[in-house]
Structure 1
Amino acid sequence: MNIKNILSSLLAVCLISSCYYDKEDLLYGANKCDTSNVKFSVQISGIINSNCISCHGGTAASGGGVKLGTYADVKVYADNGLLLNAVSRTVNPMPKGGPRLNDCRIAEIRTWLRNNAPNN
């Protein structure tokens, strides 16, 4: 085997292995979403910190004045319906310029809201 064939084979292996698609719902299945014990301190704050806080955190939130840095901040948008509308992408879709939250994260938010958005 000459060097050209070896390099071509190596390149093909690298290209094929780089086509890995890492999507949580596909890896773990949609049925693995447990919404039986959703807590603000665990799931909801994690979702906010991972997807929202870069624009909606701090004292001078850059996201249109919407602050989500504390439970009290999040509770305002939970109560007026804007949090669910934004993550469901029905009104002012969020995260802006980013991918839609997966179905499990949205289900967790819905469950938390259905339970009156407790600070737990």
Structure 2
Amino acid sequence: MSFKNLFLCFSLIGLIYSCSSDSNDDLSPTPNPDPNPNPSGKVTYNGNIKSIMSSFCTSCHGSPTSNGAPMSLTTYAQVVNAVQNRSLIARINSTSNPMPVGGLMSQTNRDLVQQWVTDGLLEN
């Protein structure tokens, strides 16, 4: 085999080897460095509270209501009204008469609802 062919073979092998990789780094999605969809850091109804209401409240406080629930909690306006006029914060924190009826929701969820009120009942 001539030197020219030998050089061509090694060059081709080197090119193929340099194009391959044992790394899976390019196959993994890059994590979002800021998973908070709200850049202001404030708790909002659409970003945080709506899912809590859907998970813990709307089985009774839906539209229509069921199990004797006095009001619906399916919209931003209804939840704001419940906070301002129907003692929603006191009810979700009550140990003697809790909402939801099955028992207190997690402290994290109750803290989020309280932070939403503190942040000004923001919708978005």
Corresponding residue number in structure 2 for 1:89: 94
Are 1:48 and 2:48 counterparts? no
Write the distance in 2 (CA, Å) between the matches of 1:60 and 1:110: 24
- CA 1:60/1:108 → structure 2, altered by over 3 Å: closer, same or farther? closer
Work out which of the residue numbers 47, 54, 69 in structure 2 matches 1:64.
69
| Unmatched segments (≥5 aa) in structure 2 | 1-40
Are 1:116 and 2:120 counterparts? yes
- Alpha-carbon shift at residue 37 of structure 1 (Å): 2.8
Write the distance in 1 (CA, Å) between the matches of 2:70 and 2:86: 17
% identity of equivalent residues: 30
Structure 2-normalised TM-score?
A: 0.60
Structure 1-normalised TM-score?
A: 0.62
Write the distance in 2 (CA, Å) between the matches of 1:76 and 1:91: 23
Structure (1 or 2) with the greater helix fraction = 1
Larger RCO of the pair (alpha carbons < 8 Å, separation 6+): 1
- CA 1:80/1:92 → structure 2, altered by over 3 Å: closer, same or farther? farther
1:18-33 to structure 2, matched below 5 A, reads: none
- Alpha-carbon shift at residue 81 of structure 1 (Å): 5.6
Q: Indicate the RMSD between aligned Cα atoms, in angstroms.
A: 1.9
Deviations 1:92-115 (A, max 9, x none): 41001x131111111111110012
Write the distance in 2 (CA, Å) between the matches of 1:60 and 1:69: 10
Corresponding residue number in structure 1 for 2:105: 101
| Unmatched segments (≥5 aa) in structure 1 | 1-35
Write the distance in 2 (CA, Å) between the matches of 1:71 and 1:63: 21
Matched pairs, number: 84
Corresponding residue number in structure 1 for 2:80: 75
